[in-house]
Each structure stands twice: as structure tokens, then as C-alpha cells.
Amino acid sequence: MAQHKGDRVADWNGQSGERWVAHQARLDARLAVFGQAAIEAAAPATGERVLDVGCGAGASSLALAALVGAGGQVLGVDISEPLIARARALAPQDTPARFRVADASSAELPEGAFDILFSRFGVMFFEDPTGAFAHMRHALQPGGRVAFVCWRGAAENDWMRLPMGAIRGIVPLTAPPDPEAPGPFSFGDPRRVGRILTAAGFTNIAIAPFDALVPFGEGATRDAAIDDAVKMAIEVGPLSRVLADQPDDIRARASAAVRAAFAGRPGERSLMIESATWIVTARNPAS
């Protein structure tokens, strides 16, 4: 497990972090609707203190900061130095949001210091999720709230299903990962999410589906939007890792197959992709 965590930290401080920074504005725009749904579920009030787990380049932290105001506080934590550097660069001087390079599952956090534990797609990667949530719960005040958004299953998310399905038979794929192994879809089973939060000591757990069509590729014409979607799929996300060491001819065949798969999606200047998530809320017991 330690090796897996070490690989993940290295990746997000290397290629994955750099790619996210390069495409930050577009990626944050694509995820904004999900972050907003989770923020509405959290319902932050003026003066409240929020811990934003896996904050990335800080878009969710800054949105939360605008709601808690100058009398509140948002601490965004992420394992990626490039993303935290980007968050600090984007943060207005007067924001109550602060950013820290840290792993929230083990970092020293002040006990009872926060009213809300929040995350936009940042909690699915813990090696020991129950232990991580138990650790983070101690940073919540009694009665504090949890709100996060996580992906449902890969089969329900076309940004994953379409490109990875298209390259079957072109690129040798490894065996499917353990569905509970750390990764973007490890919280796809709501029963597992409920068990994790219960074992970590939370109560009042609610898990609701939230779906949206999001722009995956953009361009002046439909063909340009499809080409852009293929480029994004190949440069960012799971497909980029699968194709990283493949020869040019395999990459070309894979690119053509992915383009054909995306061509069936609606949209003219923005290719729209179905995405499926859970909005999860819970409480830290009052005593």
C-alpha cells in the first residue's frame, strides 16, 4: 500500500499534476457543475470554516471562500505541489482561502477546527478510506457537516466508458482493477461509501445521484469539437496512461477509434458527455 501511495504522490507531483495545470481552466469548467452541487449540499454560511480535501487548483476552495466571507476560513489541501502552486497563483489577495500541500488522510490537522469537510472528487484515492475519514473527522467540530461529490461507476461515465471501450482490441488492456482499489471509481458503490463513513464515526449519511452533461471537447465546428475531445482524452486522464508507452501506429489507431466513439455524442461547438456522480452528505456526531 505504501508503494501505491508513493506512486500516486509522485504522479501528481509529476505528469498528472503538470497536465492538470496545463489544462486547468478547462478541467475546472468541466467539473464546475458537480462542485456547485456539492457546495449547495454543504450549504456553507458566513463565517464558517471549511476543509477542502483534494482541492486541486483551488476552484472549489475559492467558491467556498466567496460564501463564508472574510469572517470565515477555507483550507484547501492537496498532495500535488504543481496544483497547489496554481491555486495560490489564482487566489485573490483578499480571499479567506489558504492552500497547503498535504495528504488529508494523515496530515496534522487542528482538532475540531472546521465546520465543514468538503471535497470535489478528492476522497476516492485513499489507501485506507475508513482510517482517512476517521482522521479527518477529528478536525470537524461536534455536529460538523460532510459534503462531497464522487464519481459513480465507470460504465455510467462516458468520459471513461467511450474512449476505453474504443481501444479494446487495439491496445492490450490490463485486468480490470479491484473496484475498491484507490481510484476515481472506488466510491461507485453507495453501500461501500455508507459503510466507510459509518465505520469512521459519521451519522446522518445521505447519498444521492447527480448527473450532468458536460462539454468534453470544444471547437468552432463540430469536427473541431470532436478532434478536441480526442486530444483531451489522450492528454489527460486514464487513456493518457494507457497510451503513454505505445508506438505511434498504435496511438494513431487508438485515436481514430476514440474519435469514432465520440462522434456519436451530441453537440456542435461543444461535444457533450454524460457524467454520473454521487452527492454524499453526513454529520459528525454532536457528542
Distance CA 246, CA 253 (A): 11
Distance CA 230, CA 209 (A): 27
Render pLDDT for 109-137 as a digit per residue (tens, 0 to 9): 999 999 999 999 999 999 999 999 999 99
Distance CA 87, CA 70 (A): 18
- What's the whole-model pTM score? 0.93
Strands (E), the chain: 49-53, 73-78, 97-101, 114-120, 140-151, 203-218, 270-283
What count of other Cβ atoms lies within 10 Å of the Cβ of residue 212?
17
Cell numbers found for residue 274: 454524460
Distance CA 227, CA 258 (A): 10
Q: Is 167 helix (H, G, I), strand (E, B) or coil?
A: coil
Distance CA 148, CA 120 (A): 6
Residue 286 burial (C-beta neighbours within 10 Å; 0-12, 13-18, 19+): exposed
Render pLDDT for 68-104 as a digit per residue (tens, 0 to 9): 999 999 999 999 999 999 999 999 999 999 999 999 9
